[in-house]
Structure 1
Amino acid sequence: MADPYKPRAPFAPWDRRELPGSFDVEDSARRVGNYKWAEMKLFEALGGWVATVPELDVKMRLGTHCYKHAWHADLWHKRLPELREMNPDRLTQPANDAMVRFVEAMTEPEAPDQTIEKLVGVYRVFIPRFIAAYTFHKNNTSQITDAPTIRSINFILQDEFDDWRDGEMILQSLIETPDDVERAARHQARLEAIMVEAGGIAGPGSIGMTSTGASANGPQNGSAA
Protein backbone atom coordinates (compact mmCIF):
# COMPACT_ATOMS: atom_id res chain seq x y z
CA MET A 1 0.00 0.00 0.00
CA ALA A 2 1.34 3.41 -0.94
CA ASP A 3 2.25 5.67 1.94
CA PRO A 4 -0.22 8.60 1.81
CA TYR A 5 2.16 10.72 3.89
CA LYS A 6 5.17 10.27 1.65
CA PRO A 7 6.36 13.65 0.32
CA ARG A 8 5.27 14.18 -3.26
CA ALA A 9 5.81 16.84 -5.88
CA PRO A 10 2.92 19.32 -6.08
CA PHE A 11 2.16 18.28 -9.67
CA ALA A 12 2.35 15.08 -11.69
CA PRO A 13 5.73 14.40 -13.33
CA TRP A 14 4.35 15.34 -16.75
CA ASP A 15 2.87 18.62 -15.47
CA ARG A 16 5.44 21.42 -15.59
CA ARG A 17 3.18 24.34 -14.79
CA GLU A 18 4.51 27.11 -12.59
CA LEU A 19 2.46 28.83 -9.92
CA PRO A 20 3.51 32.47 -10.34
CA GLY A 21 2.61 34.43 -13.45
CA SER A 22 3.87 37.75 -14.74
CA PHE A 23 0.81 39.73 -13.61
CA ASP A 24 -0.34 40.67 -10.14
CA VAL A 25 -4.06 40.97 -9.40
CA GLU A 26 -4.24 44.68 -10.12
CA ASP A 27 -2.42 44.40 -13.44
CA SER A 28 -4.62 41.49 -14.53
CA ALA A 29 -7.74 43.45 -13.65
CA ARG A 30 -6.49 46.51 -15.53
CA ARG A 31 -5.66 44.49 -18.64
CA VAL A 32 -8.97 42.63 -18.61
CA GLY A 33 -10.83 45.93 -18.25
CA ASN A 34 -8.93 47.29 -21.26
CA TYR A 35 -9.75 44.15 -23.25
CA LYS A 36 -13.44 44.44 -22.44
CA TRP A 37 -13.53 48.11 -23.47
CA ALA A 38 -11.77 47.40 -26.78
CA GLU A 39 -14.02 44.44 -27.61
CA MET A 40 -17.11 46.55 -26.89
CA LYS A 41 -15.88 49.31 -29.19
CA LEU A 42 -15.20 46.82 -31.98
CA PHE A 43 -18.67 45.32 -31.54
CA GLU A 44 -20.22 48.77 -31.80
CA ALA A 45 -18.20 49.68 -34.89
CA LEU A 46 -18.99 46.49 -36.79
CA GLY A 47 -22.65 46.61 -35.80
CA GLY A 48 -22.95 50.17 -37.06
CA TRP A 49 -21.34 49.33 -40.38
CA VAL A 50 -23.66 46.39 -41.04
CA ALA A 51 -26.40 48.86 -41.93
CA THR A 52 -24.26 51.06 -44.16
CA VAL A 53 -21.83 48.93 -46.20
CA PRO A 54 -23.29 48.28 -49.67
CA GLU A 55 -21.55 44.94 -50.33
CA LEU A 56 -23.86 42.11 -49.26
CA ASP A 57 -21.06 39.62 -48.55
CA VAL A 58 -19.28 42.17 -46.34
CA LYS A 59 -22.51 43.03 -44.57
CA MET A 60 -23.14 39.38 -43.71
CA ARG A 61 -19.62 38.82 -42.39
CA LEU A 62 -19.65 41.96 -40.27
CA GLY A 63 -22.96 40.89 -38.78
CA THR A 64 -21.48 37.55 -37.76
CA HIS A 65 -18.25 39.02 -36.45
CA CYS A 66 -19.79 41.82 -34.39
CA TYR A 67 -21.67 39.44 -32.13
CA LYS A 68 -18.52 37.46 -31.47
CA HIS A 69 -16.93 40.61 -30.07
CA ALA A 70 -20.00 41.24 -27.91
CA TRP A 71 -19.52 37.74 -26.49
CA HIS A 72 -15.82 38.42 -25.92
CA ALA A 73 -16.69 41.55 -23.95
CA ASP A 74 -19.12 39.50 -21.87
CA LEU A 75 -16.45 36.89 -21.16
CA TRP A 76 -14.07 39.60 -19.95
CA HIS A 77 -16.82 41.18 -17.85
CA LYS A 78 -17.33 37.86 -16.08
CA ARG A 79 -13.62 37.64 -15.31
CA LEU A 80 -13.47 41.03 -13.60
CA PRO A 81 -15.36 40.20 -10.36
CA GLU A 82 -13.40 36.96 -9.98
CA LEU A 83 -10.09 38.77 -10.00
CA ARG A 84 -11.01 40.76 -6.92
CA GLU A 85 -13.94 42.69 -5.49
CA MET A 86 -13.53 45.58 -7.90
CA ASN A 87 -16.07 47.67 -9.77
CA PRO A 88 -16.31 46.23 -13.30
CA ASP A 89 -17.63 49.51 -14.70
CA ARG A 90 -14.68 51.43 -13.28
CA LEU A 91 -12.23 48.93 -14.75
CA THR A 92 -13.91 48.94 -18.17
CA GLN A 93 -11.93 51.76 -19.71
CA PRO A 94 -9.47 52.45 -22.52
CA ALA A 95 -5.80 51.93 -21.85
CA ASN A 96 -5.11 55.61 -22.58
CA ASP A 97 -6.25 58.60 -24.62
CA ALA A 98 -4.44 57.33 -27.71
CA MET A 99 -6.66 54.23 -27.74
CA VAL A 100 -9.71 56.48 -27.73
CA ARG A 101 -8.28 58.41 -30.67
CA PHE A 102 -7.52 55.16 -32.46
CA VAL A 103 -11.14 54.01 -32.22
CA GLU A 104 -12.33 57.42 -33.39
CA ALA A 105 -9.99 57.29 -36.40
CA MET A 106 -10.93 53.68 -37.18
CA THR A 107 -14.64 54.49 -37.22
CA GLU A 108 -14.22 57.78 -39.08
CA PRO A 109 -14.83 56.33 -42.58
CA GLU A 110 -18.60 56.38 -43.02
CA ALA A 111 -19.23 56.79 -46.76
CA PRO A 112 -20.58 53.77 -48.67
CA ASP A 113 -17.48 53.79 -50.90
CA GLN A 114 -15.08 53.48 -47.93
CA THR A 115 -15.47 49.77 -47.23
CA ILE A 116 -11.76 49.22 -47.80
CA GLU A 117 -10.86 51.78 -45.14
CA LYS A 118 -13.35 50.26 -42.70
CA LEU A 119 -11.96 46.77 -43.12
CA VAL A 120 -8.31 47.84 -43.07
CA GLY A 121 -8.75 49.42 -39.66
CA VAL A 122 -10.36 46.34 -38.18
CA TYR A 123 -8.60 43.44 -39.86
CA ARG A 124 -5.13 44.81 -40.55
CA VAL A 125 -4.64 46.92 -37.43
CA PHE A 126 -7.11 46.31 -34.59
CA ILE A 127 -7.62 42.53 -34.63
CA PRO A 128 -3.88 41.78 -35.02
CA ARG A 129 -3.36 43.81 -31.82
CA PHE A 130 -5.97 41.71 -30.03
CA ILE A 131 -4.21 38.54 -31.15
CA ALA A 132 -0.84 39.82 -29.97
CA ALA A 133 -2.04 41.04 -26.56
CA TYR A 134 -4.10 37.93 -25.85
CA THR A 135 -1.26 35.62 -26.86
CA PHE A 136 1.16 37.48 -24.61
CA HIS A 137 -1.31 37.33 -21.71
CA LYS A 138 -1.91 33.61 -22.19
CA ASN A 139 1.81 32.85 -22.30
CA ASN A 140 2.67 34.92 -19.23
CA THR A 141 -0.12 34.31 -16.75
CA SER A 142 -0.27 31.47 -14.24
CA GLN A 143 -1.68 28.25 -15.65
CA ILE A 144 -2.86 27.36 -12.16
CA THR A 145 -4.28 30.44 -10.49
CA ASP A 146 -5.48 32.03 -13.74
CA ALA A 147 -6.77 28.96 -15.57
CA PRO A 148 -10.26 30.46 -16.16
CA THR A 149 -8.70 33.45 -17.92
CA ILE A 150 -6.59 31.16 -20.11
CA ARG A 151 -9.72 29.22 -21.04
CA SER A 152 -11.46 32.46 -22.06
CA ILE A 153 -8.43 33.55 -24.08
CA ASN A 154 -8.37 30.24 -25.94
CA PHE A 155 -11.99 30.66 -27.01
CA ILE A 156 -11.48 34.31 -27.96
CA LEU A 157 -8.24 33.75 -29.86
CA GLN A 158 -9.90 31.16 -32.09
CA ASP A 159 -12.54 33.73 -33.02
CA GLU A 160 -9.93 36.42 -33.61
CA PHE A 161 -7.89 34.22 -35.94
CA ASP A 162 -11.00 33.10 -37.85
CA ASP A 163 -12.28 36.66 -38.23
CA TRP A 164 -8.87 38.01 -39.22
CA ARG A 165 -8.73 35.42 -42.00
CA ASP A 166 -12.23 36.31 -43.20
CA GLY A 167 -11.48 40.01 -43.16
CA GLU A 168 -8.19 39.67 -44.99
CA MET A 169 -9.77 37.54 -47.70
CA ILE A 170 -12.55 40.09 -48.19
CA LEU A 171 -10.00 42.89 -48.37
CA GLN A 172 -8.00 41.04 -51.01
CA SER A 173 -11.18 40.65 -53.05
CA LEU A 174 -11.91 44.40 -52.79
CA ILE A 175 -8.41 45.74 -53.49
CA GLU A 176 -8.23 45.55 -57.27
CA THR A 177 -6.28 48.58 -58.51
CA PRO A 178 -3.13 50.54 -57.63
CA ASP A 179 -5.40 53.28 -56.28
CA ASP A 180 -7.06 50.75 -53.96
CA VAL A 181 -3.64 49.62 -52.76
CA GLU A 182 -2.69 53.23 -52.01
CA ARG A 183 -5.94 53.86 -50.14
CA ALA A 184 -5.48 50.78 -47.98
CA ALA A 185 -1.81 51.48 -47.25
CA ARG A 186 -2.37 55.14 -46.45
CA HIS A 187 -5.21 54.44 -44.02
CA GLN A 188 -3.34 51.57 -42.38
CA ALA A 189 -0.26 53.73 -41.85
CA ARG A 190 -2.34 56.43 -40.21
CA LEU A 191 -3.99 53.99 -37.82
CA GLU A 192 -0.76 52.12 -37.09
CA ALA A 193 0.86 55.38 -35.98
CA ILE A 194 -1.92 56.01 -33.46
CA MET A 195 -1.83 52.42 -32.23
CA VAL A 196 1.93 52.58 -31.73
CA GLU A 197 1.39 55.69 -29.64
CA ALA A 198 -1.23 53.82 -27.60
CA GLY A 199 1.12 50.89 -27.04
CA GLY A 200 -1.52 48.29 -27.92
CA ILE A 201 -5.00 47.55 -26.62
CA ALA A 202 -3.74 47.35 -23.02
CA GLY A 203 -1.34 50.27 -23.40
CA PRO A 204 2.46 50.10 -23.25
CA GLY A 205 3.42 46.57 -22.30
CA SER A 206 0.51 44.97 -24.17
CA ILE A 207 2.99 42.44 -25.55
CA GLY A 208 5.51 42.82 -22.76
CA MET A 209 7.80 45.46 -24.19
CA THR A 210 7.54 49.18 -23.54
CA SER A 211 8.50 51.82 -26.08
CA THR A 212 12.02 51.84 -24.56
CA GLY A 213 12.43 48.12 -25.18
CA ALA A 214 12.23 47.15 -21.50
CA SER A 215 9.93 44.41 -20.32
CA ALA A 216 6.76 45.87 -18.84
CA ASN A 217 6.65 43.03 -16.32
CA GLY A 218 10.37 42.81 -15.68
CA PRO A 219 10.44 43.68 -11.95
CA GLN A 220 7.81 41.04 -11.18
CA ASN A 221 9.99 38.41 -12.81
CA GLY A 222 13.06 39.40 -10.87
CA SER A 223 14.76 41.24 -13.70
CA ALA A 224 16.08 44.76 -13.49
CA ALA A 225 13.63 47.60 -13.83
Structure 2
Amino acid sequence: MNVLLLEDDRGAAAHIQHGLSGLGHLVHLATDGRAAYADLCDRDFDVAVIDRMVPGMDGLSMVRRLRADGNSTPVLILTALSMVEDRIEGLEGGADDYLAKPFAFTELVARINALARRPQKTTDIAHLRAQDIEMNLLRREVTRAGRMIDLQPREFRLLEQLLRHGDRIVTKTMLLETVWDFDFDPRTNVVETQVSRLRTKLNEGFANDAIQTVRGSGYMIRTVG
Protein backbone atom coordinates (compact mmCIF):
# COMPACT_ATOMS: atom_id res chain seq x y z
CA MET A 1 0.00 0.00 0.00
CA ASN A 2 1.00 3.64 -0.35
CA VAL A 3 1.75 5.21 3.04
CA LEU A 4 2.45 8.85 3.82
CA LEU A 5 4.68 9.24 6.88
CA LEU A 6 4.93 12.63 8.57
CA GLU A 7 7.83 12.43 11.01
CA ASP A 8 10.62 14.96 11.63
CA ASP A 9 12.73 12.75 13.89
CA ARG A 10 15.31 11.17 11.59
CA GLY A 11 15.82 8.06 13.68
CA ALA A 12 12.13 7.34 14.11
CA ALA A 13 11.43 8.06 10.45
CA ALA A 14 14.20 5.74 9.27
CA HIS A 15 13.00 2.95 11.57
CA ILE A 16 9.40 3.16 10.38
CA GLN A 17 10.27 3.67 6.73
CA HIS A 18 12.70 0.75 6.69
CA GLY A 19 10.23 -1.55 8.44
CA LEU A 20 7.26 -0.74 6.23
CA SER A 21 9.34 -0.86 3.05
CA GLY A 22 10.58 -4.29 4.09
CA LEU A 23 6.95 -5.44 4.18
CA GLY A 24 6.42 -4.27 0.61
CA HIS A 25 4.77 -0.93 1.29
CA LEU A 26 5.65 2.28 -0.55
CA VAL A 27 6.49 4.94 2.03
CA HIS A 28 6.61 8.66 1.21
CA LEU A 29 8.30 10.68 3.95
CA ALA A 30 7.42 14.28 4.81
CA THR A 31 9.21 16.13 7.61
CA ASP A 32 6.88 19.10 8.11
CA GLY A 33 3.12 19.53 8.19
CA ARG A 34 2.79 21.84 5.21
CA ALA A 35 4.65 19.45 2.92
CA ALA A 36 2.54 16.53 4.15
CA TYR A 37 -0.66 18.50 3.56
CA ALA A 38 0.41 19.30 0.00
CA ASP A 39 1.30 15.65 -0.63
CA LEU A 40 -2.07 14.45 0.61
CA CYS A 41 -3.86 16.99 -1.57
CA ASP A 42 -1.88 16.10 -4.69
CA ARG A 43 -1.63 12.32 -4.38
CA ASP A 44 -3.72 9.40 -3.13
CA PHE A 45 -2.47 7.40 -0.16
CA ASP A 46 -3.97 4.34 1.48
CA VAL A 47 -2.96 5.46 4.97
CA ALA A 48 -1.23 8.47 6.53
CA VAL A 49 0.89 8.07 9.70
CA ILE A 50 1.13 11.50 11.30
CA ASP A 51 3.29 12.82 14.13
CA ARG A 52 1.65 15.72 15.96
CA MET A 53 4.70 17.74 16.93
CA VAL A 54 6.28 18.69 13.60
CA PRO A 55 7.39 22.03 12.07
CA GLY A 56 5.48 24.04 9.49
CA MET A 57 2.01 22.97 10.56
CA ASP A 58 1.43 20.67 13.51
CA GLY A 59 0.05 17.24 12.66
CA LEU A 60 -3.36 17.68 14.28
CA SER A 61 -3.97 21.04 12.58
CA MET A 62 -3.07 19.41 9.29
CA VAL A 63 -5.57 16.59 9.87
CA ARG A 64 -8.30 19.07 10.75
CA ARG A 65 -7.59 21.00 7.57
CA LEU A 66 -7.70 17.80 5.50
CA ARG A 67 -11.07 16.84 6.93
CA ALA A 68 -12.40 20.33 6.33
CA ASP A 69 -11.35 19.89 2.68
CA GLY A 70 -13.27 16.63 2.47
CA ASN A 71 -10.12 14.47 2.31
CA SER A 72 -10.96 11.06 3.82
CA THR A 73 -7.51 9.43 3.77
CA PRO A 74 -7.29 7.13 6.84
CA VAL A 75 -5.05 8.79 9.43
CA LEU A 76 -3.12 7.22 12.28
CA ILE A 77 -1.61 9.73 14.69
CA LEU A 78 1.69 8.49 16.09
CA THR A 79 2.98 10.78 18.83
CA ALA A 80 4.59 11.11 22.23
CA LEU A 81 1.48 12.96 23.46
CA SER A 82 -0.12 10.04 25.27
CA MET A 83 -2.52 11.52 27.82
CA VAL A 84 -6.18 10.56 27.55
CA GLU A 85 -7.11 14.13 26.68
CA ASP A 86 -4.50 14.09 23.89
CA ARG A 87 -6.03 10.94 22.42
CA ILE A 88 -9.52 12.39 22.60
CA GLU A 89 -8.37 15.62 20.96
CA GLY A 90 -6.70 13.67 18.16
CA LEU A 91 -9.67 11.43 17.45
CA GLU A 92 -12.16 14.27 17.62
CA GLY A 93 -9.85 16.28 15.36
CA GLY A 94 -10.34 13.78 12.54
CA ALA A 95 -7.82 10.99 13.15
CA ASP A 96 -9.04 7.43 12.66
CA ASP A 97 -6.61 5.91 15.17
CA TYR A 98 -4.08 7.07 17.74
CA LEU A 99 -0.89 5.32 18.87
CA ALA A 100 1.45 6.71 21.52
CA LYS A 101 5.23 6.55 21.46
CA PRO A 102 7.13 4.46 22.38
CA PHE A 103 5.35 1.78 20.36
CA ALA A 104 5.83 -1.78 19.14
CA PHE A 105 6.41 -1.87 15.40
CA THR A 106 4.18 -4.94 15.06
CA GLU A 107 1.30 -3.01 16.62
CA LEU A 108 1.88 -0.11 14.23
CA VAL A 109 1.70 -2.50 11.27
CA ALA A 110 -1.48 -4.12 12.62
CA ARG A 111 -3.16 -0.75 13.04
CA ILE A 112 -2.12 0.42 9.56
CA ASN A 113 -3.48 -2.79 8.04
CA ALA A 114 -6.74 -2.39 9.95
CA LEU A 115 -7.19 1.16 8.65
CA ALA A 116 -6.44 0.09 5.08
CA ARG A 117 -9.09 -2.65 5.30
CA ARG A 118 -11.85 -0.26 6.31
CA PRO A 119 -14.46 0.25 3.58
CA GLN A 120 -13.67 3.35 1.55
CA LYS A 121 -16.24 6.01 0.81
CA THR A 122 -15.77 5.41 -2.90
CA THR A 123 -17.73 2.15 -2.69
CA ASP A 124 -20.91 3.94 -3.73
CA ILE A 125 -19.48 4.47 -7.23
CA ALA A 126 -21.48 2.36 -9.69
CA HIS A 127 -19.18 2.59 -12.72
CA LEU A 128 -15.42 2.57 -13.20
CA ARG A 129 -13.69 3.32 -16.49
CA ALA A 130 -10.21 3.52 -17.99
CA GLN A 131 -9.82 4.14 -21.73
CA ASP A 132 -12.13 1.60 -23.44
CA ILE A 133 -12.58 -0.61 -20.35
CA GLU A 134 -15.81 -0.14 -18.39
CA MET A 135 -16.93 -1.84 -15.19
CA ASN A 136 -20.49 -1.85 -13.88
CA LEU A 137 -20.22 -2.64 -10.16
CA LEU A 138 -23.96 -3.13 -9.71
CA ARG A 139 -24.36 -5.60 -12.56
CA ARG A 140 -20.87 -7.08 -12.07
CA GLU A 141 -20.17 -6.60 -15.77
CA VAL A 142 -16.97 -5.64 -17.62
CA THR A 143 -16.70 -4.54 -21.23
CA ARG A 144 -13.85 -3.42 -23.45
CA ALA A 145 -14.78 -1.31 -26.46
CA GLY A 146 -18.34 -2.51 -25.93
CA ARG A 147 -17.44 -6.21 -25.94
CA MET A 148 -18.47 -8.20 -22.86
CA ILE A 149 -15.62 -9.85 -20.94
CA ASP A 150 -16.39 -12.81 -18.69
CA LEU A 151 -14.39 -12.59 -15.47
CA GLN A 152 -14.21 -14.86 -12.45
CA PRO A 153 -14.97 -13.18 -9.07
CA ARG A 154 -11.29 -12.85 -8.13
CA GLU A 155 -10.42 -11.44 -11.56
CA PHE A 156 -13.26 -8.94 -11.19
CA ARG A 157 -11.97 -7.78 -7.78
CA LEU A 158 -8.45 -7.50 -9.15
CA LEU A 159 -9.55 -5.36 -12.07
CA GLU A 160 -11.68 -3.25 -9.76
CA GLN A 161 -8.64 -2.37 -7.66
CA LEU A 162 -6.63 -1.43 -10.74
CA LEU A 163 -9.46 0.75 -12.05
CA ARG A 164 -9.99 2.45 -8.69
CA HIS A 165 -6.30 3.38 -8.71
CA GLY A 166 -6.21 4.50 -12.33
CA ASP A 167 -2.85 6.04 -13.34
CA ARG A 168 -1.35 4.93 -10.01
CA ILE A 169 0.75 1.90 -9.17
CA VAL A 170 -1.00 -0.86 -7.26
CA THR A 171 1.56 -2.95 -5.41
CA LYS A 172 1.50 -6.70 -4.87
CA THR A 173 1.02 -6.07 -1.15
CA MET A 174 -2.02 -3.89 -1.81
CA LEU A 175 -3.56 -6.56 -4.04
CA LEU A 176 -2.90 -9.32 -1.51
CA GLU A 177 -4.71 -7.30 1.14
CA THR A 178 -7.67 -6.06 -0.90
CA VAL A 179 -8.28 -9.00 -3.25
CA TRP A 180 -7.09 -11.98 -1.20
CA ASP A 181 -7.55 -10.50 2.32
CA PHE A 182 -3.98 -11.46 3.22
CA ASP A 183 -2.06 -9.41 5.80
CA PHE A 184 1.13 -11.24 4.81
CA ASP A 185 2.98 -12.31 1.70
CA PRO A 186 2.26 -16.01 1.09
CA ARG A 187 5.50 -16.24 -0.91
CA THR A 188 3.73 -17.54 -4.01
CA ASN A 189 3.14 -16.10 -7.47
CA VAL A 190 -0.63 -16.00 -6.96
CA VAL A 191 -0.80 -12.29 -7.85
CA GLU A 192 1.33 -12.65 -10.97
CA THR A 193 -0.71 -15.66 -12.13
CA GLN A 194 -4.05 -13.93 -11.65
CA VAL A 195 -2.85 -10.74 -13.34
CA SER A 196 -1.66 -12.83 -16.30
CA ARG A 197 -5.09 -14.46 -16.64
CA LEU A 198 -6.86 -11.12 -16.36
CA ARG A 199 -4.50 -9.56 -18.91
CA THR A 200 -5.18 -12.39 -21.38
CA LYS A 201 -8.94 -11.90 -21.15
CA LEU A 202 -8.75 -8.12 -21.44
CA ASN A 203 -6.30 -8.12 -24.36
CA GLU A 204 -7.88 -10.78 -26.56
CA GLY A 205 -8.58 -9.15 -29.92
CA PHE A 206 -6.83 -5.90 -29.01
CA ALA A 207 -3.38 -4.62 -30.00
CA ASN A 208 -2.52 -2.68 -26.83
CA ASP A 209 -1.97 -4.16 -23.38
CA ALA A 210 -4.59 -2.98 -20.89
CA ILE A 211 -2.40 -3.60 -17.82
CA GLN A 212 1.02 -2.05 -17.41
CA THR A 213 3.61 -3.87 -15.31
CA VAL A 214 5.89 -1.50 -13.40
CA ARG A 215 8.92 -3.66 -12.73
CA GLY A 216 9.78 -3.92 -9.05
CA SER A 217 6.70 -1.93 -8.01
CA GLY A 218 3.40 -3.38 -9.22
CA TYR A 219 0.73 -2.82 -11.85
CA MET A 220 -1.36 0.03 -13.19
CA ILE A 221 -4.01 0.92 -15.74
CA ARG A 222 -3.80 4.20 -17.62
CA THR A 223 -7.05 6.17 -17.69
CA VAL A 224 -6.15 7.73 -21.04
CA GLY A 225 -4.15 6.36 -23.97
Which structure would you say has the larger Rg?
1
How would you bin the TM-score normalised by the shorter chain?
under 0.3
* TM-score, normalising length: structure 1: 0.27
| Greater strand fraction, Structure 1 or Structure 2 | 2
Instruction: Using CA pairs under 8 Å that are at least 6 residues apart, name the structure with larger relative contact order, 1 or 2.
Output: 1
TM-score by length of 2: 0.27
